[in-house]
Structure 1
Amino acid sequence: MTKIQEQEVAQTMKRDFYKLFINGEQVESSNGARTKVYNPATGEFLAEVAKATQEDAQRAIEAARNAFDNGKWKITPTGKRARVLNKIAAIMRSRFSELVELEVLNTGKTIAAAQAQLNQAVEDFEFYAGALVSHRGSVNNVPGQFHNYTEKEPVGVCAQIIPWNYPLMMAAWKVAPALAAGCSVIIKPASLTPLTAIILGEICHEAGVPEGVVNILPGSGAEIGNYLVEHDLVNKVAFTGSTPIGKDIMARASGTLKRVTLELGGKSPSLIFEDADIDQAVDCSIYGIYNNTGQSCDARSRIYIHEDVYDEFVEKFIEKTNRIVLGDPFSKETHVGAVIDQGQLDTVKEYVQSAIDEGAEILAGGEQIHPEGFEKGFWYAPTVIGNVTQEMRVVREEIFGPVVVLSKFSNEKEAIALANDSEFGLASSVWSKDGARATRVANKIQAGIVMINSPFSAFPGTPFGGYKQSGFGRELAIETLDLYSETKSIMSYYGSRPLNPFGL
C-alpha cells in the first residue's frame, strides 16, 4: 500500500459503526442487532457495534474450519508465515497513533498505558515471527532399529475470548502464537471494548492472512462465548478473565475435550523487606497497583511491609498516592484513567464500603471523584486501606480497581505465609537488597510470576500465567506455541529382517 492509502485506511479506524469480521469481510449481524459502546472517561456514546448471533458464530466457525481443513495457512512455509506476522506488526506500527487513540477512547485508560500496551502487542507478533521458525519436532533413534521423529501440527480452530482491560494487547497475546502455529482463530472481544480487536482482524487480513483464518465476533459472552466453547468444530479455547467464568468455560469445554488455556484472577502480593530501597519500593508499588487503574489481573493489590519500615513506607506511599493525577486520558500528565463502566465502579465502591464495615481504615482515597471536564465519566480515587486482617474481603477477593491493602510482617517466614495465603497465584513482587533472600523468597512464593525489585511482569518471551485458581497454561512465551500444537510421533522400522512379533 502507498502512504496515502495507509493514511486513508487509518482514518477509517474511527467509525460510527463497526461490523463483524468473518471470512475476510466486514459484515452486519444476521439479525441486524447492534450494541453501543461508550467512552468510560466521559460516559459519552462512542460507536455502535454489530452484535453477533449464534448464526453468525456458526458462519465464523465454518469459515475458520474450512480455512484450516483446506490447509492454505497451516501448510504455509514457516518463513512466509513469519513474514506475514512481521507485516502485521509493521502495519500496526504504521498506524500506532490511531490505534492508541481508539484504545484510549474505548477504555478510558491513559495514553501512556495505551502506548506501552500497543508497543507490546506489536512486539508479540515480531517475537512469534522469530519463535515459529525454531518450533519443530525432534528425532530419536529407538534401540532395536527403530527411527522415531515428531512433528508439530496446529491444533485446529481456536476460540479466543478477550477481556476488557487490555483489549488489543490481550488479543495480540492470543492471536500471534495461534497464527504462528498455523491455527485458525475466532476472537470474541469483550462487549465493552471490541473496537481495536475488530481492527486487528482487518489488519491481519490486509497483511496476508488468508480468508477465514482470523474472524472477530463481538457479542454476548453468555450467548456467543458459550456457543464457541461448546461447539464440536472448535478444538481449543483460550480465555482471559475472571476465575468463576474460567471454571464455567472449563466445564463446558469438557463435553468435547477441548484444549483449554485459562489466565484468570489474581490477588497478588508485594513483600517489602526492611533492607529494601524504600523510595524505589514505594514508587514501583504505586505503579504495581494503580497502573491501568488497578484493572489488571497481576495488580499487586496486597502489600506486606516489614514492621521495622512499615511507618516510613506507609507515610511515603500515602503522600505519593495523594499526588496521583486523574483526568484527561490524552494528557501525558495523567497517571490514572477511568474505571471501565458504572458496574465496575459500583463494585469498587462496594468493596471499599465492606472494608469500612469490617473495621479497616481508609488511609487515602476511598471515594468516587469527578475530574474537571470529565464529570460524567467513571472515576474512583486511588485508595489505600490499612488496619486489615487476612479474613477481610478486600484482602481475599479480587477488586479489579484502584484499591490496595497494607499490612505488616515481622519475619521472612511470616511474609511468605501471608503472600501464599490466597486462592490465587498469578504474580508477586519481592523488594530486598539481599539477593540471596530475594531468591529464597521467590522460590517459596506460589505464583507464576515473581518480580524482584521491579514492578514489570510481562515481556514477549517471558512466560505469563498462574498457579492455583489463577489458571493454567502460559502465554507470551515460546512454549505457548505448544498450547496451539499437537505433537505427532512417527515410528519407522529400518531393520534388515522382517518383523514377526507373534512368530507365526
Structure 2
Amino acid sequence: METLKEQKFAALDTKREFYQLIINGERKDSLNGGVYTVINPATGEKAAEVSKASIEDAEEAVRAARNAFDHGNWRHFPVNKRSRTLNKIAGIMRSRFNELVELEILNTGKSLAAAQGQVMQAIEDFEFYAGAIVGHRGAVNSMPGSFQNVTEKEPVGVCAQIIPWNYPLMMAAWKIAPAIAAGCSVIVKPASPTPLTALVLGEICMEAGVPAGVVNVVPGAGSDVGNFLVEHRDVDKVAFTGSTAIGKDIMAKASQTLKRVTLELGGKSPNIIFEDADIDAAVDGSLFGIFYNSGQSCEARSRLYVHEHVYDEFIAKFIEKTKRLKLGNPFSKDTHVGAIINRDQLNVIDGYVKSAVADGATVLTGGKEAKIDGYENGFWYEPTVIINVNHEMEAVKEEIFGPVAVVMEFKDEKEAIHLANDSQYGLGSALWTKDHARATRVSKQIEAGIVMINCPFSAFPGTPFGGYKQSGFGRELCIETLDLYTETKSMISYYGSRPLNPFAL
C-alpha cells in the first residue's frame, strides 16, 4: 500500500465520493470492509461514503500512535521544528480554504458564513499553537542552600480525541494542534455523521511533514471504537467534547487506567439584558448567541433573562429580527441559519418545544420544522422564541441543541444572578449593560467558565474555553491547554562543594 507521502498527495482532493481511515500515515480501508454513508443534512442526500473503523482498526491506530510516540522522533523534534510544521499545516489549510469550507457545508448543512468563520479559526488554532509552544517550557527555580530545581515539560503520550458533530473541523483543530505541538501522538475519532474534514485534516498533517503514526483518524461508532480507545491501556489521555451524559461515562471508564481526561460538555448558557443595556446591540448579539450554527453550540445562549423595564421593547425587536432570519441554501451568503444535523436531532428539538407548550409556555415565533423549497428532504427547524416559561420546564433546564430561545423577565441584579446560576451547567454566559461596575460585579458572580460582556463571541485562539459544574473541566484554545498535553518533570540537583551526609554518620 502506498503511503500518503509516496502518493505525493496528487490524489488528495478534498471533495470525493469515498474517504478512508488514516492510520500510520496511510489511507486505509477498514479491516472488516465496513463502510457507511454520510448524509448532507441540508438535502438529506448522500454526501460521501466513509470507511467505518472497527475495534481492530482502532487497535492498529493505537499501536501506530504508541510506536510513533515511543520510538519515533516527533516528540524529540526541536520545538522550533514542530512549530514550523504546525505553521505549514495552517498554510496548506489556507491554500485550500474554499475547499474545506465547501466540504464542511456539505457534511454539516451549516451556513456559508458559519463554515467560513470556523475553518478560519481552525487555521488560526494551528498558528496560535505554533507560537505558544515555543514559550511553553520548564524553569530553573531558586532553592535554599546549594540546591537547584529544574523543571521540564514532556508530552503526556498517546491521546484519544473524540470530536463532536457540531464543529467537525474546528474542534478537531482545537484538539490536534495543542497535542502535536506538545509532542504527543493522537488518535482522532470524529463523530460518525461528520468525519470528512477531520479526515482531510489528518491528510494535511501528513502532507505538512508530521511523521506517520502521530496523527491517526478513525471514524466509527462511539459505542465500540470510542469506548475501546477510552479503556485502552496504551492511551494516556482522553479529550472529549460532547454531551454531559457521555462525558460522565468516559470519566468513569478512563478512571480504570487513571488516564488524564479533558471534558468539554453540555451547556444551557444564560444571557442577561439589564435595563441600561444598548437594546439594539443586545438584540443583535442575542440573535447570534442562540441562532448561530443553528443553535447547535454547547455555549449557545439559550436562556434569555430581560429586565422587566425593557422586556417589552426587547421582545418586540427580538421577534421582529428572528422572523427576518433566512434559512435555505447553505452556500448563499444571505443565509443565516443552516440545517439541523439529522432527523433524530430535529425530533429532539421539536420534542422540547412541544413539552414547553404542554407545560403552559407560549411560542411567539417558530416552533416547528421548516419546509424550504428545494430542500424538502433536509432537516430544518424554524428559529423559535418561547415565553411564559419557568425553571421547572425541561426546555429551560436541559440543553436543546437547536435554534430555540426561552425568555424570562427579572426584577433586579440579585434575581438575574440567581436565575443565571440556577442550572447544572456552567459553560458560557453573556450580559449586556453600559455600567462597567455592574459588568465586573456580575461577571464575578456568574458560575460559568466564559462571560461575554456586550459581545456575542465566545472563542478566539488564545482565550480559555471550558466550563464549571457539569459543563466539564479543563480549558481548550489557550496556552494553558498545553499543560493538559504535558507532564512536568522536576529535577533537584546539589552543587555544593561538600558531600551531603543527612544522617551525620
TM-score bracket relative to the smaller structure: over 0.9
Q: 1:451 to 1:6 in 2, by over 3 A?
A: farther
**How many Å separate the matches in 2 of 1:131 and 1:275?**
39
CA distance in 1, matches of 2:137, 2:151: 8
Secondary structure at the counterpart of residue 347 of structure 2: helix
1:95 aligns with 2:96: yes
CA distance in structure 2 between the partners assigned to 1:378 and 1:7 by the alignment: 35
Deviation, 1:9, is 4.9
SS across alignment from 1:490: strand
Matches of 1:441 and 1:457 in 2, distance apart? Answer: 17
- 1:228 aligns with 229
> CA separation in 2, counterparts of 1:308 and 1:140?
57
User: What amino acid is the match of 1:117?
Assistant: Q
Cα distance in structure 2, aligned partners of 1:247 and 1:180: 28
Distance, in Å, in 2 between the alignment partners of 1:279 and 1:142 is 57
Q: Tell me how far 1:141 sits from its aligned partner.
A: 2.3
The one-letter code of the counterpart of 1:152 is K
AA aligned opposite 1:409: F
Report Cα offsets for 1:331-384 as digits up to 9, x if no partner. 001000000000000000100000011000001100101111000000000000
Tell me, what secondary structure is at the counterpart of 1:449? coil
Counterpart of 1:322? 323
SS of aligned partner of 2:441: helix
SS at match of 1:253: helix
Q: Does 1:283 align with 2:284?
A: yes
Per-residue CA deviations over 1:468-494 (Å, capped at 9, x if unaligned) read 000000000001000000000001011
Cross-structure match for 1:473: 474
Compute the displacement of 1:71 (Å). 3.9
| Secondary structure of the corresponding residue to residue 298 of structure 1 | coil
User: Which amino acid in the other structure matches residue 236 of structure 2?
Assistant: N
Contact 2:9 2:207 in 1 (8 A): no
Map 1:52-63 → 2, pairs under 5 A: 52-63=53-64
CA distance in 1 between counterparts of 2:346 and 2:386 reads 17
2:3 matched residue in structure 1: none
Structure 2 unaligned blocks of 5 or more: 1-6
Write the mapping of 1:190-269 to structure 2, written as runs, cut at 5 A.
190-269=191-270
CA distance in structure 2 between the aligned counterparts of 1:147 and 1:141, rounded to whole angstroms: 6
Equivalent in the alignment of 2:404: 403
C-alpha displacement of 1:423: 0.3
Q: Report the secondary structure of 2:153's partner residue.
A: strand
Structure 1 letter corresponding to 2:286: S
What letter is aligned with 2:430? Answer: S
- Given the alignment of the two structures, is residue 494 of structure 1 paired with residue 463 of structure 2, yes or no? no
What 5-or-longer segments of structure 1 have no aligned partner?
none
Q: Aligned equivalents of 1:418 and 1:7: distance in 2?
A: 54
Q: Note the C-alpha offset of 1:144.
A: 2.1
Is 1:165 aligned to 2:166, yes or no? yes
1:502: Cα distance to partner? 1.7
The one-letter code of the counterpart of 1:314 is I
Q: Per the alignment, do residues 7 and 18 of structure 1 end up closer, same or farther by CA in structure 2, a change over 3 Å counting?
A: closer
- 2:457, 2:301 → 1: CA distance? 11
Alignment match, 2:430:
429
Q: 1:452, 1:50 → 2: CA distance? A: 44
Aligned amino acid, residue 278 of structure 2: D
- AA aligned to 2:363 is I
Match of 1:34 in 2: 35
Distance 1:78 1:7 in 2: 26
What letter is aligned with 1:18? Y
Map 1:45-444 → 2, pairs under 5 A: 45-444=46-445
Aligned partners of 2:469 and 2:328: how far apart in 1?
Answer: 37
Q: Deviations over 1:266-304 (max 9, x none)?
A: 000000000000011001100000000000001000000
Residue deviations 1:33-81 (CA, integer Å, cap 9, x gap): 1111100000001111101111111110000000000140001001111
| TM-score w.r.t. length of structure 2 | 0.98
* Counterpart code for 1:222: S
Counterpart contact for 2:67–2:213, Cα < 8 Å: yes
TM-score under structure 1 normalisation?
Answer: 0.98
The amino acid across from 1:330 in the alignment is F
Aligned residue pairs, count:
499
Alpha carbons 2:38, 2:47 under 8 Å: kept: yes
CA RMSD of aligned residues (A): 1.0
CA distance in 1, matches of 2:280, 2:472: 33
Question: In structure 1, what is the Cα distance between the partners aligned to 2:396 and 2:10?
Answer: 49
The residue type paired with residue 297 of structure 2 is: S
Q: Quickly say closer, same or farther: Cα 1:110–1:91, change in 2 above 3 A.
A: same
Q: Secondary structure at the match of 1:288?
A: helix
Structure 1 residue aligned with 2:4:
none
The alpha carbon displacement at 1:503 in A equals 2.1
Residue by residue, what CA displacement relative to the aligned partner does 1:431-464 show, whole Å, maximum 9, x if unpaired? Answer: 0001110111011000000000000000000000
> Structure 2: which amino acid aligns with 1:126?
E
Partner SS for 1:427: coil
**For 1:9 and 1:274, how far apart are their aligned partners in 2?**
58
Per-residue displacement from partner, 1:58-110 (whole Å, max 9, x unpaired)? 11000000000014000100111110000000000000000000000000000
**Which structure 1 residue ranges, 4+ long, deviate > 6 Å from structure 2?**
none
- Could you tell me how far 1:6 is from its partner in structure 2? 9.9
- The AA in structure 2 aligned to 1:134 is G
Name the SS of the counterpart of 1:35 in structure 2.
Answer: strand
What SS does the corresponding residue of 2:76 show, helix, strand or coil?
A: coil
**AA aligned opposite 2:353:** V
Distance 2:499 2:284 in 1: 72
Q: Deviations over 1:370-406 (max 9, x none)?
A: 1110000000000000000111111100000000000
**In structure 2, how many angstroms separate the alpha carbons of the residues matched to 1:420 and 1:343?**
30
Counterpart secondary structure, 2:235:
coil
The CA distance in 2 between the partners of 1:179 and 1:302, in whole Å, is 37
1:156-205: per-residue Cα shift (whole Å, max 9, x none)?
00000000000000000000000110000000000000000000000000
